[in-house]
Amino acid sequence: MREYGYDEKILAQYCFSGKQPELYLAFPVHIIKRTISGDHPQTQIPYHRHDFIEISYVLSGRAVQRIDDMEFPIEEGDLCIINKDIVHTVISDEKINVRQIVLKFLPGYLLHRSLENCDAKHLICLLTNCEPYYIVRKEKYNSKKTLQILSNIIEELTHKQNGYDSYVFMLIQQLAIGLFRDEIIDRTILDSNYNHIHIVGQAIAYIEKNFRDDISLKSASKDMNISYSHLSRIFKRQTGWSFTRYVNFVRIRFAEKLIVEDATTITEAIGNSGFNSVSNFNRMYKRFRGYSPSQYALNYMLPHSHEGEPQDLEADDREALVHPQVQR
């Protein structure tokens, strides 16, 4: 893999070093429009991996999607689905830029919401698919409808009107149903994994209900009447995160919500979100976000340049970042 520029040290620095703080926002869905140019090295993306499922749609141009040591030419209308923890990058043609919409979402949070919704089995198939990646050619699926769904997600995360989080969940579910109908995602994955999915859903529900208390994998396994080691193994396999890390994520997300929606002080937010000390909160926060809690609070006191009209997908070739934020 060296011939493709893969470097373990660079990869480790890129994954959880704070260089991508936008991936760890309060709302666990992230979408960007990006341009990669062979003539501009600063737009190139190094090999990386993350805890999110990534779905990228090629708006124009052509490039090479590299996954581990595999290469796949991609062009306008093609769709790439990359599972969590898969090493990948995109390399553009030297003479032709490639423009993409890239959707990333945290599978654990959406899995919990899916299990609460009896009609969300298609999304569960997508969240728990056992294939490391899918390269879908434009003639194999409804590319126009997919582009419209992604455009709607950008609009919802730009305006953040009441109920936007539920609507984004529904749009991702609609995307998953389309992939299921086009036979991209296999229904048998759900049938074979549903017991494990249900167990993880119970664990996530336990976390969401009790995160303010002193909970642990041990207390969850006892409450669910399941083996500690079995729960640990299944939770990691299905979500990509350890139980403790997911608990800290939920606590941080809730603390941010208190700071933004209720104008709670950072100290009060820490006390109400389950952290046992300020130092522990600060350490965990910076590990997840890449910056301090005070920087986050200050950011919300400033006007947001992205608020207003949704982005025109054809108007701007620069990478346009939509920051999904907590509802005010």
Burial class (CB in 10 A: 0-12, 13-18, 19+), 62: middle
* Closest C-alpha among 141, 9, 114 to residue 53: 114
Cα(103)–Cα(264) distance, integer angstroms:
31
**pLDDT tens digits along 211-254:** 999 999 999 999 999 999 999 998 887 777 789 988 998 898 88
2-186 and 242-311 share one CATH topology?
no
* Closest C-alpha among 249, 201, 209 to residue 27: 249
The average confidence (pLDDT) of the chain is 75
Residues 56/80, Cβ–Cβ less than 8 Å = yes
* Closest C-alpha among 70, 81, 176 to residue 123: 176
Q: In what order do the strands lie in the sheet with 88-92?
A: 70-75, 62-67, 88-92
Residues 327/165, Cβ–Cβ less than 8 Å = yes
Cα(260)–Cα(125) distance, integer angstroms:
34
Residue of 280 and 5 predicted with greater confidence? 280
CB atoms within 10 A of CB 99: 22
- Model pLDDT, residue 130: 56
Spell out the residues 6+ positions from residue 57 whose beta carbon is closer than 8 angstroms to its own.
Answer: 77, 78, 79, 100, 101, 102, 103, 143, 146, 147, 150
Q: What are phi and psi of 296, to 5 degrees?
A: -65, -50
Cα(28)–Cα(36) distance, integer angstroms:
24
Exposure of 188 in the CB half-sphere (CA atoms within 13 A): 2
Backbone angle region of 158, left / alpha / beta, with phi > 0 → left and psi within -120 to 50 → alpha: alpha
CATH of region 242-311: 1.10.10.60
Using a pLDDT cut of 90, give the percent of the chain over it: 29
**pLDDT tens digits along 28-70:** 788 999 999 877 776 778 888 887 889 999 999 999 999 988 9
List residues bridging with 245 in a β-sheet: none
- Model pLDDT, residue 155: 92
pLDDT band of residue 103 (cuts 50, 70, 90) is very high
**Which pTM does this prediction carry?**
0.63
pLDDT at 326 > cutoff 60: no
CB atoms within 10 A of CB 282: 16
pLDDT band of residue 142 (cuts 50, 70, 90) is very high
CATH of region 2-186: 2.60.120.280
Residue ranges of domains in the chain: 2-186, 197-241, 242-311
